[in-house]
């Protein structure tokens, strides 16, 4: 009899748990209530997301996560980083494991519409390239007939690669690999003749080689890879927050707001655009459910787009990437931030 | 029980025998306290709870999918996959369907499991014998092998073996000479290349010759058995059978060499061209799984051999069997009888562990349907259900085969 | 060799008998031609594999260096153990916050205290010690996660490294045992419905790979829960690992029940004990005792399986090692890292398997003593 009663009690508890499960609030409220932001990033890609000597996450994508946390929660360190491989990132986002995705992710129509994600712009313009050892004496991807090519699985690169070789009627062998670090090891061990991924990723990977000069990037860029953040579809409020934090960082560079001078500019600037970004004019923060200092905090915590780029990817880093397409439109690049007004 | 005059009514067992009990003896309390009634109640409760839980979860799935704007459908299996697979036992390219990609995944898992099981059994048997060898050094080595292998996670084995395969084998890209055998077999860190048989017109006759050879070998074996039982003479079985099975198709082939040709691997610009290729990933995964599993199998077989009573061994010696013959004809058959159920478990483990192929990029079930397809189509639920069902079928299939085998070697009690 | 054989027939006893060591070598290594061949083969194998390894790992290895480049400067072709010695604390504590590391240390120490009564059978106050052992998982959980009784909460996302292995291992081990017993009982039950449920559950879990279950835990479980339910990835993984281990445990326990002599069941029936009473007083103590070696073996399996969590993005020592490799300072030292992690698992699992062997022998001795 007693066992019966226990089972009944357990059942009642289970039922009450089921009924009392919280109704889903918006992600913004969830993040605020939780006090931390769950940001999905790469498992390890030098320059974009990697751990430093103290076990802290560093990198280009990581700083965008921190900026978002600074804007929403006031603390750039209130981020829980969720590491995802190319394969697991969308499932992690859709299942609520993360609040947003900053994992050098290419914006494509099928991902936006079919995978039910919402992309919020582009924070890095990239394209897929190839790296090969100099010793092979290859100058073009068209010479790769019969070669083995390492790719990161679960990315657009494997689709592009199949397209490229099919269009050019070249035979090849794909060697699918889960993470960039494994791909790097496999390529160096000589399992593949070439490694293909985004151009930025190739540069970053080459920087970690013993002898970077022994490897060349082939001139072909076989795809467009606009990389940008994504959130789950159907939560427009939260999408706005992420989109405008990123936009503010880009626009801050355009108007010369840096982590160093943001505070001075609050009182020292007459430029209405600057004053709007810094929350002195207008009430733009309240439009997206934040206070007025949201963008100022984001900029002060990690710097503007240019500072982030310089710190992690620029010519003074081992990766040594030029701004190229990622320069402001005023400098001949593609960065053309939606105005904050 | 000392008193003979026990009142039957006071002995519950006897009262039960004399008067069929009514379920309603003792009112509701008594009704609920009865064993059978309670059993039924428990079961009804269990079923209810189970159904409630499933209904609850199913309902949640519907709500969640609706919130994300997704539906539940397997239509994607008929759509073009758009990705390439490097090990294709059957025709496939990036324009083939996701369903076909899954089929390749199934075949690839099956291949690893099949080859892995064979190698694991052979290595396991050898190690078990080495472990019991009177040679101290050899038995210690075998012991060190089993202990090291068993106590390190299988994932690490796979990563280590893969690392060794791609770094230690000759690196063709850097101009290192691959190992070759008569210019027919090539081994490098790009894989193992062997001549590939290609069937042409008339290959059917070769197949018929092969079947005929098998049938003859079987008849020979029966004949040898009969002779042995009648006259006590042992006729050689293994060698003649093997000879038959090889020789007959070979003679057939000589009559029409065009029916079966071999594509010989040759060095190309980047990779070896032609021939049959075993990928280093396949190679490494199979080897790692075989090594890992063999350590467990070795232990099982060793225990089996030790369980064969010493008298059997001494009897074999007294009958003039050599050590090898005693092992093959007397000890092992008895040891296997004990060892088959645990070995079956190891085979199942090997098959399930093959799903770790994902760590080195071998495209099995998890790599295709549970990996790239899942990722490109975003159909987590549909794909994972398929993956689970596929592994379950593999497990059931292996258990089924091993059960048949187990029955065939079980002791027939007379 | 020729010398020894020549002297054999003379007045001196053969050398193999005069010097015991030589005799031993002769008998165990060179007694027959086959034996000699095997010995030479083994020696060749040891030399071939062992020497190049020792040369790489120790003779040319570098123990302390703060980057791969620094290692290569000291010894270009040796192992670079700097990745281990420099980052050892990351392997142990993972991303657990620095200021709270004492909590991890304390849990390690308490684990030893909790294990003592299990391993040391003649310990004073063993009964009370065992109570602590049962309570340990909860105490350690509170210590590590915090949030109650004044301890700062630590986000479980920071659980990584060796401590994560321990968290998953200890939880899986302590919870799978009772669930396994329940499942085994259900499978042996006379109630068909319970039996069918248990059989289906056990065979399903045993029929699929753990990584598919972990994958379900990480990406699919959210679909089965009400929208917005936010429950910890670690907890989900713990649930899956526990369920997985329980199915295997159930089979071990069932084996124990089958090995129980028939007389025991008849005795329990004759005593007229109720089902639960006979279970508690007669069956379980014996069944558990018989099954202990099997139980320890499933523990080892579970412990090794904890590495699989890296597939869903948790960082056990292997995952930590891999994330270190993406740091330009250490990139390329995969072999050293894998070997270190392998050694770590080897030591813990080997110790457990020795213990299981010891128990098995003890059990055999006891059974032999009972029969005499």
Q: How far apart are the first and last CA of chain B?
A: 42
**A232 and A219 assigned to the same domain:** no
Query: Which pLDDT does position C14 carry in this prediction?
Result: 60
A131: which 2 tokens?
Answer: 């790296």
Local confidence band at A79 (pLDDT 50, 70, 90 cut-offs): very high
Reduce the secondary structure of A102-165 to three states and give it as a string: CCCCECCHHHHHHCCEEECCCCEEECEEEEEEHHHCCCCHHHCCCEEEEEECCCHHHHHHHHHH
By DSSP bridging, strand A147-152 and strand A194-198 are parallel
Query: Which pLDDT does position C228 carry in this prediction?
Result: 67
Per-residue b or e along A79-115, where b marks 16 or more CB atoms closer than 10 Å to that residue's CB: bbbbbbbbbbbbbbbbbbbbbbbbbbbbbbeebeeeb
With a cut of 50, say whether residue A184 has pLDDT above it. Answer: yes
CA distance C172 to C245: 7
B209 within some domain: yes
Contacts made by residues B12-16, CB under 8 angstroms, sequence distance 24+:
none
Last residue of one domain, picked from the residues A223, A245, A273 = A223
**A92 and A105 assigned to the same domain:** yes
How far is the alpha carbon of A204 from chain B, nearest alpha carbon, in Å?
A: 22
Q: CB of B270 within 8 Å of any CB in chain C?
A: no
Local confidence band at B31 (pLDDT 50, 70, 90 cut-offs): low
Chain B hits for A14, CB-CB cut-off 8 Å, are: 53
**A186 and A63 assigned to the same domain:** no
Q: How far is CA B363 from CA A178, A340, B393, C83, C197, in A?
A: 12, 48, 19, 32, 34
B3 within some domain: no
Low-confidence ranges of chain C (pLDDT < 70): 1-20, 228-230, 328, 371-372
CA distance B408 to B397: 17
**A157 and A268 assigned to the same domain:** no
pTM of structure: 0.82
B294 within some domain: yes
CA distance B148 to B142: 10
Q: CB of C273 within 8 Å of any CB in chain B?
A: no
Query: Which pLDDT does position C130 carry in this prediction?
Result: 79
Is B372 in contact with A158 (CB distance < 8 Å)?
A: yes
Of the candidates A230, C318, A136, the residue with the CA atom closest to the CA atom of residue B378: A230
- CB-defined contacts A:B, below 8 A: 129
Which of A114, A135, A234 is the closest to B67 by Cβ?
A234
With a cut of 60, say whether residue A22 has pLDDT above it. Answer: no
pLDDT tens-digit readout, B193-237: 888 777 777 777 778 888 888 888 888 888 888 887 787 777 777
B285 contact partners, CB below 8 Å, separation of at least 6: B112, B116, B158, B162, B354, B356, B357, B360, B362
A88 within some domain: yes
φ/ψ of residue A40, rounded to 5: -90, 120
CA distance C141 to C235: 11
Q: Interface partners of A (3+ CB pairs, < 8 Å)?
A: B, C
Query: Which pLDDT does position B20 carry in this prediction?
Result: 53
Last residue of one domain, picked from the residues A172, A200, A223 = A223
**B59 and B105 assigned to the same domain:** no
Which of B56, B86, B271 is the closest to A147 by Cβ?
B271
B384: which 2 tokens?
Answer: 């994972």
Which of A175, A185, A193 is the closest to B270 by Cβ?
A193
Task: With CB atoms and an 8 Å threshold, state whether B352 touches C209.
Answer: yes
Between residues C80 and B106, the one the model is more confident about: B106
Q: What is the dihedral of CA B172, B173, B176, B182, to 10 degrees?
A: 20
Query: Which pLDDT does position A11 carry in this prediction?
Result: 45
**A301 and A272 assigned to the same domain:** yes
The tokens 């060799």 sit on which residue?
Answer: C1
**What is the tally of structural domains in chain A?**
2
Residue B309's domain is classified under what CATH number? 1.10.3720.10
A332 within some domain: no
**A147 and A173 assigned to the same domain:** yes
**What is the tally of structural domains in chain B?**
3
Cβ atoms within 10 Å, residue B334: 17
Task: With CB atoms and an 8 Å threshold, state whether A7 touches B45.
Answer: yes
User: Once rounded to an integer, what is the mean pLDDT over residues A219-228?
Assistant: 89
Q: How far is CA A260 from CA A78, A302, A310, in A?
A: 22, 10, 15
Options 3.40.470.10, 1.10.3720.10, 3.40.50.620, 1.10.540.10; which CATH number does C154-371 get? 1.10.3720.10
**B331 and B349 assigned to the same domain:** yes
**A247 and A305 assigned to the same domain:** yes
Task: With CB atoms and an 8 Å threshold, state whether C334 touches B163.
Answer: yes
Which of C72, C221, C334 is the closest to A185 by Cβ?
C334
Q: How far is CA B108 from CA B86, B87, B88, C326, in A?
A: 11, 8, 8, 31
Query: Which pLDDT does position B10 carry in this prediction?
Result: 45
Cα nearest neighbour of B12 on chain C: C272
**A139 and A213 assigned to the same domain:** yes
**A246 and A318 assigned to the same domain:** yes
pLDDT tens-digit readout, A121-135: 999 999 999 999 988
Query: Which pLDDT does position A158 carry in this prediction?
Result: 85
Is A149 in contact with A175 (CB distance < 8 Å)?
A: yes
Is C238 in contact with C305 (CB distance < 8 Å)?
A: no
Outline where chain A has alpha helix (H).
2-20, 27-34, 60-73, 89-94, 109, 156-167, 180-188, 199-207, 236-254, 262-268, 272-277, 284-287, 294-302, 305-312
Task: With CB atoms and an 8 Å threshold, state whether C194 touches B150.
Answer: no
Last residue of one domain, picked from the residues A195, A223, A251 = A223
Task: With CB atoms and an 8 Å threshold, state whether A21 touches C225.
Answer: yes
Which of C191, C208, C223 is the closest to B43 by Cβ?
C191
Q: Which domain holds residue B43?
A: 23-67
CA distance B324 to B317: 11
Contacts made by residues B140-146, CB under 8 angstroms, sequence distance 24+:
B141/C42, B141/C45, B141/C46, B142/B298, B145/B295, B146/B295, B146/B298, B146/B299
CA distance A13 to A5: 12
A16 within some domain: no
Q: CB of B172 within 8 Å of any CB in chain A?
A: yes
Q: CB of B45 within 8 Å of any CB in chain C?
A: no
Is A176 in contact with B86 (CB distance < 8 Å)?
A: yes
Local confidence band at B188 (pLDDT 50, 70, 90 cut-offs): confident
Paired strand residues for B262: B197
With a cut of 50, say whether residue B170 has pLDDT above it. Answer: yes
B76 within some domain: no
With a cut of 90, say whether residue A253 has pLDDT above it. Answer: yes
Cβ atoms within 10 Å, residue B393: 12
Which of A191, A195, A211, A235 would you mutate first to test chain B, the one with the most B CBs within 10 A?
A191
**A159 and A277 assigned to the same domain:** no
**B162 and B211 assigned to the same domain:** no
Q: What is the mean pLDDT of chain A?
A: 85
Q: Which domain holds residue A82?
A: 27-125+227-327
**A237 and A306 assigned to the same domain:** yes
Query: Which pLDDT does position B26 carry in this prediction?
Result: 59
Chain C hits for B134, CB-CB cut-off 8 Å, are: 28, 31, 35
CA distance C249 to A264: 66
Local confidence band at B15 (pLDDT 50, 70, 90 cut-offs): very low
- Most distant CA atoms of chain B, gap in Å: 102
pLDDT tens-digit readout, B304-327: 888 887 788 788 878 877 777 777
With a cut of 80, say whether residue A213 has pLDDT above it. Answer: yes
pLDDT tens-digit readout, C95-143: 788 778 888 888 888 888 888 777 777 777 777 777 888 888 888 888 8
Which of A22, A83, A318 is the closest to C313 by Cβ?
A83
Chain B hits for C308, CB-CB cut-off 8 Å, are: 153, 155, 356
CA distance B138 to B140: 5
Local confidence band at A4 (pLDDT 50, 70, 90 cut-offs): very low
**B247 and B342 assigned to the same domain:** no
CA distance B315 to B84: 61
Q: What is the mean pLDDT of chain B?
A: 82
Which of C71, C326, C334 would you mutate first to test chain A, the one with the most A CBs within 10 A?
C326
Residue A172's domain is classified under what CATH number? 3.40.190.10
The DSSP code sequence of C44-59 is HHIIIIIIHHHIIIII
Task: With CB atoms and an 8 Å threshold, state whether B353 touches C209.
Answer: yes
The pLDDT > 70 percentage for chain B reads 90
**B155 and B226 assigned to the same domain:** no
A60 within some domain: yes
How far is the alpha carbon of A305 from chain C, nearest alpha carbon, in Å?
A: 23
Task: Name the burial class of residue A315, with classes exposed (0-12), middle (13-18) and buried (19+) by CB atoms within 10 angstroms of its CB.
Answer: exposed
Cα nearest neighbour of B39 on chain A: A4
**A250 and A307 assigned to the same domain:** yes
Q: ipTM score here?
A: 0.84
Is B177 in contact with B187 (CB distance < 8 Å)?
A: no
Q: CB of A136 within 8 Å of any CB in chain B?
A: yes
User: Once rounded to an integer, what is the mean pLDDT over residues B149-160?
Assistant: 92
A11 within some domain: no
Sign of the Cα pseudo-torsion (C118, C120, C126, C132, in order): negative
CA distance C162 to C92: 5
């Amino acid at each position: 009899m007693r066992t019966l009663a226990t089972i009944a009690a357990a059942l009642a508890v289970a039922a009450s748990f089921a009924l009392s499960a919280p109704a889903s609030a918006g992600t913004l409220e969830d993040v605020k209530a939780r006090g931390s932001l769950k940001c999905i990033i790469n498992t390890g890609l030098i320059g974009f997301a990697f751990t430093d000597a103290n076990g802290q996450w560093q990198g280009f994508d990581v700083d965008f996560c921190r900026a978002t946390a600074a804007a929403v929660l006031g603390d750039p360190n209130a981020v829980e980083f969720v590491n995802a491989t190319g394969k697991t990132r969308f499932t992690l986002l859709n299942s609520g494991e993360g609040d947003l995705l900053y994992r050098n992710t290419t914006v494509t129509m099928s991902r936006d519409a079919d995978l039910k994600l919402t992309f919020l712009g582009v924070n890095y313009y990239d394209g897929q390239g190839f790296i090969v050892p100099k010793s092979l004496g290859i100058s073009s991807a068209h010479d790769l007939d019969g070669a083995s090519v390492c790719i990161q699985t679960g990315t657009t690169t494997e689709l592009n690669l199949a397209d490229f070789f099919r269009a050019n009627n070249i035979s090849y062998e794909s060697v699918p690999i889960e993470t960039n670090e494994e791909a790097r090891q496999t390529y160096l061990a000589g399992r593949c003749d070439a490694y293909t991924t985004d151009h930025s990723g190739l540069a970053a990977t080459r920087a970690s080689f013993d002898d970077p000069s022994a490897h060349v990037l082939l001139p072909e860029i076989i795809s467009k890879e606009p990389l940008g953040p994504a959130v789950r579809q159907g939560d427009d409020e939260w999408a706005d927050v992420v989109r405008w934090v990123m936009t503010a960082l880009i626009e801050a560079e355009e108007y010369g707001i840096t982590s160093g001078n943001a505070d001075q500019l609050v009182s020292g600037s007459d430029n209405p655009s600057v004053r709007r970004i810094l929350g002195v004019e207008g009430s733009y923060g309240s439009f997206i459910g934040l206070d007025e200092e949201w963008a100022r905090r984001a900029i002060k915590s990690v710097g503007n787009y240019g500072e982030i780029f310089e710190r992690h990817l620029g010519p003074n880093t081992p990766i040594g990437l030029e701004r190229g397409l990622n320069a402001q439109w005023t400098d001949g690049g593609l960065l053309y931030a939606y105005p904050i007004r | 029980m000392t008193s003979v005059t026990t009142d039957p009514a006071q002995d519950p067992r006897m009262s039960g025998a004399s008067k069929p009990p009514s379920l309603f003896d003792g009112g509701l309390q008594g009704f609920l306290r009865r064993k059978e009634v309670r059993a039924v109640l428990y079961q009804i409760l269990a079923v209810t709870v189970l159904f409630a839980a499933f209904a609850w979860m199913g309902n949640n799935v519907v709500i969640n999918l609706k919130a994300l704007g997704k539906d539940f459908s397997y239509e994607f299996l008929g759509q073009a996959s758009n990705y390439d697979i490097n090990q294709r036992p059957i025709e496939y390219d990036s324009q083939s369907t996701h369903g076909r990609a899954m089929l390749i995944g199934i075949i690839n898992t099956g291949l690893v499991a099949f080859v892995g099981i064979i190698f694991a059994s052979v290595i396991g048997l050898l190690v078990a014998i080495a472990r019991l060898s009177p040679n101290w050094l050899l038995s210690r080595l075998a012991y060190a092998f089993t202990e090291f292998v068993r106590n390190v996670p299988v994932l690490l084995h796979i990563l280590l073996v893969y690392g060794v395969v791609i770094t230690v084998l000759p690196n063709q890209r850097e101009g290192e000479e691959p190992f070759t055998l008569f210019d027919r077999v090539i081994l490098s860190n790009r894989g193992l290349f062997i001549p590939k048989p290609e069937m042409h017109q008339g290959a059917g006759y070769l197949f018929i010759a092969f079947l005929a050879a098998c049938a003859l070998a079987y008849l020979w074996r029966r004949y040898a058995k009969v002779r042995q039982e009648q006259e006590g003479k042992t006729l050689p079985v293994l060698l003649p059978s093997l000879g038959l099975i090889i020789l007959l198709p070979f003679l057939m082939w000589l009559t029409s060499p065009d029916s079966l040709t071999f594509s010989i691997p040759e060095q190309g610009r980047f990779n070896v061209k032609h021939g049959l290729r075993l990928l280093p990933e396949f190679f490494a995964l199979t080897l790692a799984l075989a090594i890992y599993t063999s350590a467990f199998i070795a232990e099982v077989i060793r225990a089996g051999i030790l369980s064969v009573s010493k008298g059997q061994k001494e009897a074999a010696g007294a009958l003039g069997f050599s050590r090898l013959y005693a092992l093959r004809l007397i000890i092992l058959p008895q040891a296997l009888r004990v060892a088959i159920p645990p070995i079956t478990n190891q085979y199942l483990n090997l098959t399930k562990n093959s799903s770790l192929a994902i760590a080195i990029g071998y495209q099995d079930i998890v790599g295709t349907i549970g990996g790239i397809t899942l990722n490109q189509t975003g159909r987590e639920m549909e794909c994972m259900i398929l993956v689970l069902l596929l592994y379950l079928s593999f497990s059931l299939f292996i258990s089924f085969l091993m059960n048949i085998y187990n029955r065939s070697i079980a002791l027939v009690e007379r | 060799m020729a010398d020894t054989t020549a002297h054999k027939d003379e007045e001196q006893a053969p050398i193999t008998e005069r010097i015991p060591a030589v005799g031993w070598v002769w008998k165990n290594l060179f007694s027959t031609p086959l034996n000699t061949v095997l010995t030479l083969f083994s020696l060749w194998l040891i030399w071939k594999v062992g020497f190049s390894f020792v040369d790489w790992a120790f003779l040319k290895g570098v123990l302390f260096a703060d980057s791969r480049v620094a290692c290569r400067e000291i010894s270009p072709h040796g192992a670079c153990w700097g990745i281990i010695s420099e980052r050892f604390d990351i392997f142990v504590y993972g991303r657990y916050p620095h200021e709270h590391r004492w909590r991890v240390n304390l849990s390690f120490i308490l684990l030893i205290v909790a294990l003592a009564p299990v391993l040391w059978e003649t310990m004073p106050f063993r009964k009370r010690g065992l109570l602590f052992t049962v309570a340990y998982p909860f105490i350690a959980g509170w210590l590590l996660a915090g949030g109650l009784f004044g301890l700062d909460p630590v986000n479980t996302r920071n659980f990584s490294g060796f401590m994560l292995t321990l968290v998953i291992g200890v939880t899986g081990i302590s919870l799978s045992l009772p669930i396994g017993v329940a499942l085994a009982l259900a499978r042996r039950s006379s109630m068909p419905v319970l039996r069918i449920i248990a059989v289906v559950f056990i065979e399903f879990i045993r029929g699929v790979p753990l990584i598919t279950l972990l994958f379900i835990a990480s990406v699919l479980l959210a679909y089965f829960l009400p929208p917005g339910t936010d429950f910890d990835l670690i907890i989900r993984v713990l649930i899956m690992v526990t369920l997985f281990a329980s199915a295997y445990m159930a089979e071990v326990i069932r084996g124990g029940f089958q090995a129980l002599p028939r007389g025991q069941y008849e005795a329990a029936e004759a005593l007229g004990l109720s089902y639960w009473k006979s279970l508690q007083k007669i069956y379980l103590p014996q069944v558990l005792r018989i099954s202990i070696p099997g139980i320890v073996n499933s523990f080892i399996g579970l412990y090794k399986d904890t590495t699989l969590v890296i597939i869903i993005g948790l960082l056990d020592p292997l995952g930590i090692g891999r994330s270190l490799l993406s740091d330009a300072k250490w990139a390329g030292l995969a072999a050293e890292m894998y070997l270190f992690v392998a050694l770590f698992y080897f030591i813990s699992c080997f110790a457990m398997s020795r213990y299981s062997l010891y128990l098995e022998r003890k059990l055999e001795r006891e059974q032999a003593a009972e029969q005499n």
